Amino acid sequence: MPDINKSSRHSKITGDFAESLVLYWLSKHGFESAKVDHTGIDLIAKNPITDELMGISVKSRSRLTGTENEDLNIPNDNFEKVDKACVAFGCKPYFAILIDASDTINVFIVSKEKLLSIFPMGKSVSAWKMREKNIDDYKKDKDVILFKFEYKTLNWWK
């Protein structure tokens, strides 16, 4: 497949896709969940295993070849927005991080508390790292939920 030339609305479409994919996956696994239009969180989900009500902020990136291992930066003010929304809805703050890189989509779901214990806030951001070593560490951590899709484009316009 040739180099990707993303559309002018690709960032918005990527965000909508990420929210829908996470919502679908949670629903598929018995979570009562809904998409919400609220500053700070994108989804609310009731975890059937822990009985926890989760307020989830979804962060997503679509990476070009050669940039697959770049960090996903979460601006510090996002954490305050998530906290305020979760107080309003009585839920625990979570982040879902979706990275579409080359031929793989990785999705991580992690509590805000866990995210900040792994990657504390810097001067302006917390950086979710995407190097191979980091992904191996996430796989071993029971507090980082991870699911992955591998895909291949079989036919495309020339």
Q: Where are the domains of the chain?
A: 10-150
Encode pLDDT of 107-120 as tens digits.
999 999 999 999 99
Identify the pLDDT of residue 22: 98
Q: Which two tokens stand for residue 99?
A: 């990275």
Under 8 Å between Cβ of 96 and 56: yes
Q: Which two tokens stand for residue 136?
A: 């191996």
Strands annotated E in the chain: 32-38, 41-46, 53-63, 72-75, 92-101, 104-111, 125-128, 145-150
Which CATH architecture fits 10-150? Answer: 3-Layer(aba) Sandwich (3.40)
Rounded to two decimals, the pTM is 0.93
